[in-house]
């Protein structure tokens, strides 16, 4: 799980074997984004991140 940079600690992304989830209210509620399993996520900035899993890399975009 990681906070999205420059979002005042309100936006989080969680990922794992069951997919990627997103929260815009500090984790009180979550939205499931996809079912692909990933191991790690790294943000380039506050709107672009890369997630990596078994034999795959995905580029994610987050709007403000």
How buried is residue 49: exposed, middle or buried, by Cβ count under 10 Å (0-12/13-18/19+)?
A: buried
What is the pLDDT of the chain when averaged over all its residues?
Answer: 94
**Is the confidence at residue 31, as pLDDT, over 90?**
yes
**Is the confidence at residue 21, as pLDDT, over 90?**
yes
Domain count, the chain: 1
Mean pLDDT confidence for 6-21: 94
**Is the confidence at residue 3, as pLDDT, over 90?**
yes
Q: What pLDDT does residue 13 have? A: 96
DSSP 5-64: TTSTT--EEEEETTEEEEESSTTSS-EEEE----SEEEESSSSEEEEEETTEEEEEE---
Spatial contact of 20 and 6, defined as CB atoms under 8 Å apart: no
Q: What pLDDT does residue 64 have? A: 78
Domain that holds residue 30: 2-61
Model pTM? 0.86
């Amino acid at each position: 799980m990681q906070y999205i940079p420059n979002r005042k600690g309100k936006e989080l992304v969680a990922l794992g074997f069951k997919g990627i989830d997103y929260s815009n209210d500090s984790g009180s509620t979550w939205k499931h984004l996809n079912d692909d399993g990933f191991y790690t996520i790294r943000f380039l900035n506050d709107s672009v991140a890369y997630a990596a899993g078994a034999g795959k890399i995905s580029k994610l975009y987050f709007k403000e």
